[in-house]
Amino acid sequence: MYTSKVMDHFMNPRNVGELEQADGIGEVGNPVCGDIMHIEIKVNDNKIEDIKFKTFGCAAAIATSSMVTELVKGKTLEEAEQVTNRLVAEALDGLPPQKMHCSNLAADALHQAIQNYYRKGGANE
Partner 1 sequence: MMKVYMDHSATTPIHDQVLKAMIPYLNDRFGNPSSVYSLGQEARQAVEQARSQVAALINSPAGDIIFTGGGTEADNQALIGYALSNQDKGRHIIVSAVEHHAVLETAQFLAKHGFDLTIVPVDNQGTVHPDYLREAMRPDTILVSIMHGNNEVGTIQPIQELAEIAHQGGAVFHTDAVQTIGKIPVDVKSLNVDMLSLSSHKIYGPKGVGCLYVRKGIRLSSFIHGGGQERHRRAGTENVPGIVGLGCAAEIAQQEMAQESKRLHHLATKLADGILQSIPDTYLTGHPHNRIPGHVSVCFKYVEGESILLMLDHMGVMASSGSACTSGSLEPSHVLLAMGFPHEIAHGSLRLTLGKGNSEEQVNYVLETLPPIIERLRAMSPLK
C-beta of 22: minimal distance to partner 1 in Å?
13
C-beta of 79: minimal distance to partner 1 in Å?
25
102 sits near partner 1 (criterion: CB under 8 A)? yes
Q: How far apart are CA 32 and CA 113, in angstroms?
A: 22
Q: In what order do the strands lie in the sheet with 24-30?
A: 24-30, 35-44, 47-56
Amino acid at 77: L
102 catalytic per annotation: yes
One residue of 22, 41, 51, 62 binding partner 1 per CB under 8 A: 62
4 sits near partner 1 (criterion: CB under 8 A)? no
DSSP notation for 68-112: HHHHHTT-BHHHHHT--HHHHHHHTT---TTHHHHS--HHHHHHH
Q: What does the binding site for partner 1 look like in residue numbers (CB under 8 A)?
A: 7, 10-11, 13, 16, 27, 31-38, 54-62, 98-99, 102-103
Q: Give the residue numbers marked as catalytic.
A: 33, 102
